[in-house]
Chain A
Amino acid sequence: MTQQEIYNILKEKFGDEIIEFSHELPSDPYIVANRSKIDEICLFLRDEENLNFDYLVILSGMDYIEKLGVVYHLYSIKHKHRLTIKVFLSKDDPHIPTVEKIWRSADWHEREAWDMYGIIFDGHHNLIRILCPYDWEGFPLRKDYKTPEEYHGIKVPY
């Protein structure tokens, strides 16, 4: 199934929650969705018989300078089709429902997105830092991140 067809199905089912579909070569096509019902959209994508996106390839946090984003790359092992969903979040209110209960692999990805971008996944059971030290301050992968001078008395910039 092409991404266009999947978009049509989603648009029919979720209406305004699905914002747009973009396909400009050479880029991969993607669907932009609203954040509020992303967990329901994902659950639908996973459980619907002819979509069956059972494999979360990767969940990436993004910083688009003026806003944050979460990108879901999905794959259906059964139907061998891929889908990319983008969700944009404002920097003031970076909340998004978690999908860790839908794909368990999202657990660590969401922790990483929190760690690096400060995106808060509502409902995540253990949203703590994963790659940075647990008491690190700031979100290092944000474009406006300033490296701290020192960490526990250790000079950080080398």
Chain B
Amino acid sequence: MSERRKIEFDYSGVDTDRMRVNVGPQHPSTHGVLRLEVELEGEIVTEVVPHIGYLHRCFEKHAEAMTYPQVIPYIDRMDYISSMNNEWPYVIAIEEMCGIKVPEKVEYIRVICAELNRIANHQIAVATFGLDAGAFTPFLYLFRDREWILNLFERISGGRLLYNYFCVGGVRGDVYPTFKEDCLDIVRQVRATNKEIMDLLIYNHIFVERTANIGILPVDVAINYGCSGPVLRGSGFPYDLRRSEPYSIYDRFDFDVQVGKGEVGTVGDCWDRNIVRMREMEESCKIIEQAVAQMPDTGDVFEAIPKKIRVPKGEIYRAAENPKGELGFYIVSDGGQKPFRVRPRATSFINLSVLPEISKGYMLADLILILGSIDIVLGEVDR
């Protein structure tokens, strides 16, 4: 025993390895089946390797086996939180190829539906972001409001999540008589709740402490990574397809492109990405109000729908401003019934690729917040 006591403690034997932790695919905060292989030094993240593909459903392969209208339900299932917006660039691209002019009323219905869906998407984004920060109550407030929007969509399309509502040349059903009043009701409700969320969550001191100066994404990095939507706008760059290349009838509406200004921290931090979403809800409300006021009461929404869709040989890329960013479809046609190739520009996929770059050096809890602030949907990442 006495001999053993003489041995001094040898620190070289102390194992201070970095720890590799699997965050996901089953994890409360990966927003789906995302797997992040995280290397931790204590609590500090030193490396993040995203592993995706757990929800890969071969959208592109399926699309090659479907006729043009049959692809739309599959598109719904990409970003299943904002299905209405997803369908839009696809039908725009095909209408452009076929030279179909959409009736005025349809354009307004599409704008209203897309903007309502944008609100619904941002509600989920802000709600789950709050949940990632540990605030449970705003989550339920926002989901309660989203229910109003889903009820409206259910009335016009029959679906609560996957609508299959837009079709080439029109929409699948006319709106019901009290549609406009319901839209304005939703706008009122959304505004009231957002005011509450601003006090309860966004300007909460703990929330600001948690999200300001975290996951800073400089604007040049964001552009180089191809980020779009609130992720790019959160970095202070006003890139919005609705404004820069107005598609449909967006040139008729008066709205602002919201950008992150670094009010509580640095431009491009998590708080900025989140506040852009909060303010975009207000902008969407403005667009809905204007669209409801301008929308013609009469008009046949089915008149431009072709009996048979013949897409001429060629290729086209058309994009629309999805709630998550620029969603585009590169469609190649060989003149047949089925598309030769449908290649979506999946916004979440591209936005997610920036995660390893901006999450190094922050803590594990911050990594979850950064991921939440990017607002991905795994259905779109994996397609």
A contacts B: CB pair < 8 Å: yes
Q: Which residues of A contact B148 (CB under 8 A)?
A: none
Cβ contact within 8 Å between B245 and A133: no
List which A65-87 residues lie within 8 A (CB) of chain B: 71, 73, 77, 80, 82, 84
Cα–Cα distance between A107 and B52 once the two chains are bound (Å):
14
Q: Is A56 engaged at the interface, CB distance under 8 Å to the other chain?
A: yes
Task: Choose, from A5-13, A20-28, A35-43, A90-98, the stretch at the interface.
Answer: A20-28
Cβ contact within 8 Å between B345 and A58: yes
B317 is contacted by which of A56, A84, A103 (Cβ under 8 Å)?
A84
Cβ contact within 8 Å between A103 and B53: no
Q: Which residues of B contact A131 (CB under 8 A)?
A: 52-53, 56, 382-383
Cβ contact within 8 Å between B316 and A130: no
Q: How far is the CB of A140 from chain B (nearest CB, A)?
A: 6
Task: Choose, from B115-123, B203-211, B223-231, the stretch at the interface.
Answer: B223-231
Cβ contact within 8 Å between A132 and B53: yes
Cβ contact within 8 Å between B314 and A60: no
- Taken residue by residue from 312 to 332, chain B's Cβ proximity to chain A (1 for < 8 Å, 0 otherwise) reads as 101111010000001010101
Q: Is A30 engaged at the interface, CB distance under 8 Å to the other chain?
A: yes
Chain B interface residue bracket vs A: 35 or more
Q: Is B242 engaged at the interface, CB distance under 8 Å to the other chain?
A: no
Q: How far is the CB of B296 from chain A (nearest CB, A)?
A: 28
Q: How far is the CB of A136 from chain B (nearest CB, A)?
A: 9
Cβ contact within 8 Å between B224 and A105: yes
Q: Is B1 engaged at the interface, CB distance under 8 Å to the other chain?
A: no
Q: Which residues of A contact B314 (CB under 8 A)?
A: 24, 26-28
A26 is contacted by which of B97, B223, B237, B317 (Cβ under 8 Å)?
B97
Q: How far is the CB of B14 from chain A (nearest CB, A)?
A: 33
**Contact A62-B332, Cβ < 8 Å, known A27-B314, A54-B224, A57-B326:** yes
Cα–Cα distance between A124 and B28 once the two chains are bound (Å):
33
Cβ contact within 8 Å between B96 and A130: no
Cβ contact within 8 Å between B224 and A77: no
B226 is contacted by which of A26, A62, A103, A130 (Cβ under 8 Å)?
A103
**Contact A141-B61, Cβ < 8 Å, known A71-B330, A105-B353, A131-B52:** yes
Cβ contact within 8 Å between A132 and B353: no
Binding site for A on B (CB under 8 A): 52-53, 56, 58, 60-61, 64, 96-99, 221, 223-227, 237, 239, 244-245, 312, 314-317, 319, 326, 328, 330, 332, 341, 343, 345, 349-350, 353, 357, 382-383
Pairs A–B under 8 Å by Cβ, sample size 23? A27-B97, A27-B315, A28-B315, A28-B317, A54-B224, A55-B226, A56-B226, A57-B226, A57-B317, A58-B343, A62-B332, A73-B328, A77-B237, A103-B226, A104-B224, A104-B225, A105-B224, A108-B353, A130-B53, A131-B52, A131-B56, A141-B60, A143-B64
